[in-house]
Amino acid sequence: MLKSIRKSVLIFLGFWAMVSPTIAQESSSLKIQPIPPPTRIKPYQRTTTVVKPNVHGAYPKTTNGKAWDGREPGNYSIRFRLKTVTPDNVRPTPYTVFRGDTVFLADHHIGSKYLRDTAVIDKNGVANFTGTQKLQRGMYLFVLPGKRDYFEFIIDDDQDFEIAYDTAWFSRDYFNKMVATGSVQNTEYIKYQQGKMGVIDQLYAIDQQMEIDSVGPKKEALELQKTALLNKKEQYDSVFIATHPDHLLSRFLLTMVSVNIPTDYPNLPNGDKDSTFPYRYFKNHYWDNFDWNEDGLVRMPVNVVKQKLDFFFDKLILPDADSCIQEAERIMAACRNTIEMEKYVIWYLTNRFESSNIMGMDRAFIHMAVSTYGQGRAWWTDSSTITNMCKNAYERWPTTIGQPAPELELRTIKGDWYRTQSTKAPWTIMIFWDPTCGHCKEVMPKLAKIYEKNKSRGWKVIGLASGDKRKEWEEYYNTHPETQQFIHLIRGEVLSERYKQNLFTYFVKSSPTIYILDENNVIQANRIDIEKLEDFINHLERERYPHLIPAASAKEPAVKNAESTSKDVKSNPKASGKPSTKTGKSNNKK
């Protein structure tokens, strides 16, 4: 037992020694086109280079170091002065605030709100939040006693300031009489709120007046005033961005400004208008209004970082591993001198690729796991998470698309030994299945129909049944003659230790799991759905052997471009016409 474990560990370390340089070479060989900084604002610039500690070392030699919380050294003192503290002898109501009440400091973080600190209102009506590590940049919340309500303010690099405010319980108009001292960013933010609320108040007053003067020249005059105010409200953010290009709020507001695509399309060599121009222009300028250097964008009322990344990868990028790796490297390079932004980007990209149901995307996950978590760049997490992430990458690597299928020699249903690499076929379908699995019992007859239709083209099917289900395997074989043309193997009876180790390198987490191999036993598809299998092979065969595929099977399946649902851009001209590579993992059942 110990010998077997020791051998598995050595095999794993050998794999890691091989794959880590491969990923590093892949990263260094990519020709990364840097993302240009935004021009409508002043990009945030740190005064010093960020030094992010490698607290766990490089995998597999990770240590149990303490994760870094991303907080930089320094002090903060954020004071809130309440102008109207309730006298002690007044009867408490839901709207009273007394000396001695506890108030809270909270922040927005990737779409949620989190408490960060507490303070007590002193005899002078001041609540002072203090700490010996700087707060991260972003939009924060001052939460009133009992967590009854809150208002927002800015935390930037200046973290020693005071905000004086009134309770304004009934109107919730906290900003009307608010004053910030010692913080330019909050002074301008308060003016922004006061100005915008002033426009809204004027619109409300006009609506009230229009209910009274509903006809005649007065109504026409009011409608003109209302239209002017609505235009002013719509332009308010643009004016703020233009007049405060170095403000954190401007960087946030600009992220929500869409790309303005020119209406004059260039001409193609044949004189026609280039219909692909809107897509290319939109994609090339998608990040023009996004400041990757601004950590504060992670702590905003709207998780705009996720929204932008979701749209970019869902709608603009060809859903294959190479394209995703290329764009992931561009984005990580853009935020390399940040803390919170880089942390979120690495976490987002790694988890997106790991959980993707698009076939072949596991290579993008492996790239992220090895180049970030495996190289000490995941300073925020613990060593067990890093170990699990890298082990997951290790388990997936040997059977990613483009890798030679690990050779097996297993017992057949007839009792003979069969070596999988001896299969001579243009296409070999390997299905890992369980004879007691309900979904497998649905898939196997479907696969038999596909095989019957295409066996004249030389296709082969190898069924690899669960190793502990020989009795059920034999019963299924004897009662389902349509599947007896398959090469049936059982995973529990392996000729040698080498083949046993190879068997474990197949990434099989659910049943059924289907692989497609070409004539050289190189993996062309992994974990593909049975409904996509025939179309996928037909597509590959058309590319490689157009003279072999019969006319009846030569039709190309309809493809939904990843970009076709975008309202802003036309379909992606780079779409290859390949059939869908969704693996349908959600339908697989144990």
β-strands 73-82, 409-412: how paired?
unpaired
Residue 93 CA, distance from chain mean position: 46
- As a 3-state breakdown, the chain gives helix, strand, coil percent values, each rounded to 5, of 40, 15, 40
For residue 181, the cross-strand partners are 162
Cis ω for the linkage preceding 21 (within 30 of 0): no
**Lookup: tokens for 409:** 């020699």
pLDDT tens per residue across all 590 residues of the chain: 444 434 444 444 555 555 666 666 666 666 678 888 888 899 999 877 788 988 888 888 888 888 999 999 999 999 999 877 666 666 666 667 788 899 999 999 998 999 999 999 998 999 999 999 999 999 999 999 889 889 999 999 999 999 998 766 555 678 888 999 999 999 999 999 998 887 777 777 877 777 776 666 777 787 888 888 777 777 888 999 999 999 999 999 999 988 999 999 999 999 999 999 999 999 999 999 999 999 999 999 999 999 999 999 999 999 999 999 999 999 999 999 999 999 999 999 999 999 998 999 999 999 999 999 999 999 999 999 999 999 999 899 999 999 999 999 999 999 999 999 999 999 999 999 999 999 999 999 999 999 999 999 999 999 999 988 899 999 999 999 999 999 999 999 999 999 999 999 999 989 999 999 999 999 999 999 999 999 999 999 888 877 665 554 444 443 333 333 334 444 444 443 444 445 444 344 43
Amino acid at 134: K
Burial 314-334 (b: 16+ CB within 10 A, else e): ebbbbbbbeebbbbbbbbbeb
The CA distance from 322 to 538, in Å, is: 23
Q: Where are the beta strands (DSSP E) in 145-257?
A: 150-155, 160-165, 179-181
* Three-state DSSP string of 72-87: CEEEEEEEEEECCCCC
Residues 6+ positions from 394 with CB-CB distance below 8 Å? 12, 15, 16, 19
DSSP 462: E
| Contact call for residues 486 and 476 (beta carbons, < 8 A) | no
β-strands 417-419, 409-412: how paired?
antiparallel
Q: Please name which of 312, 325, 323 lies closest in space to residue 286, comparing C-alpha atoms.
A: 312
**Lookup: tokens for 118:** 């507490």
Left, alpha or beta for 103 (phi > 0: left; psi -120 to 50: alpha)? Answer: beta
The CA distance from 525 to 361, in Å, is: 11
Q: What is the number of other CB atoms lying within 10 angstroms of the CB of residue 479?
A: 8
| Contact call for residues 359 and 581 (beta carbons, < 8 A) | yes
Residue whose tokens read 């021009």? 39
Residues 6+ positions from 196 with CB-CB distance below 8 Å? 233, 236
Classified as helix, coil or strand, 525 is: strand
Residue whose tokens read 């034999």? 474
* Three-state DSSP string of 248-295: HHHHHHHHCCCCCCCCCCCECCCCCECCCHHHHHHHHCCCCCCCCCCH
The CA distance from 216 to 372, in Å, is: 68
For residue 180, the cross-strand partners are 163
DSSP per-residue codes, 371-391:
HTGGGT--TTS-HHHHHHHHH
* Three-state DSSP string of 531-565: HHHHHHHHHHHHHHCCCCCCHHHCCCCCCCCCCCC
Q: Please name which of 473, 490, 578, 468 lies closest in space to residue 532, comparing C-alpha atoms.
A: 578
